[in-house]
Amino acid sequence: MDDRTKKNGPAAHKTKGAETTPEESSESFVAYMNDPAEPLEADGARQQEQRPTSEKALDRWFKERRKNKAAPRLLDIPNEALISRGGPLQITGNILLIDEDGSVQYANHLNLCRCGGSKSKPVCDGQHLEREFLNMGKITEISEFAPSRRATRITISCMKDGPITFRGNLRLHNQFGQECVKIRGSLCRCGQSANKPFCDGSHERVGFKTKSG
């Protein structure tokens, strides 16, 4: 080992040890819950492949804009939730997701479980197909406000053994042309509400658990 190697070796080792890994922070950031850089199951891989190029571009742009773990810059897109037929709640916009353990994630697209069977709650993992979740996604409530195209942040909180609550302007819509605009509310994720997509307290009646074990 020459003098140069001896001199640089410890310094390089020290620099490597000083790096902070994502696991060391309770706050994380994702542009999409299923990062295309990570290994995915076959079904998840197909979903990623079907994503429009514009969504993939937003994914990378959103990550690159993040500075020092602060809230990322707002994208010029409205907050909207598609109540899919027999499937998840597909939310797009400037999203701050607070899980029941207190962890924080920023995202611009999320697929959240509605059937109650996902093993990776609050994110959908395709269990609605196994459970034959047949909810049509119809919306019966009326709007509280007019739709807005202005970019604002929406906060989504996951309640332990309960619903998902949201605070911020959100346009809920479905494939039948129905829509409803609200600034706060509770959305069912146990799959048992008689007022889907909204919560009616059925999670207490059925003993819904958000974590297994």
pLDDT tens-place string over residues 32-71: 434 444 443 445 445 555 666 656 555 555 555 554 467 7
Measuring CA to CA, how many Å separate 44 from each of 16, 41, 63, 111?
A: 33, 5, 20, 11
Using alpha carbons, select from 197, 193, 189 the residue that is nearest to residue 159. Answer: 189
pLDDT at 35: 41
In whole angstroms, what is the distance from residue 92 CA to residue 80 CA? 5
Res 63: pLDDT? 56
Q: What is the pLDDT of residue 64?
A: 55
Predicted local confidence at residue 22, as pLDDT: 41
Measure the CA dihedral 157/66/181/207, to 10°.
-20
pLDDT at residue 84, as a whole number: 96
In one-letter notation, the amino acid at residue 14 is K
Exposure of 26 in the CB half-sphere (CA atoms within 13 A): 6
What is the reported pLDDT for 50? 61
What pLDDT score does 62 carry? 55
pTM of the model: 0.66
pLDDT, position 104: 94
Please list the ranges in the chain whose pLDDT falls under 70. Answer: 1-69, 212-213
Find the angle CA(169)-CA(170)-CA(175) to the nearest 5 degrees. 160
Read off the DSSP letter of residue 24.
G
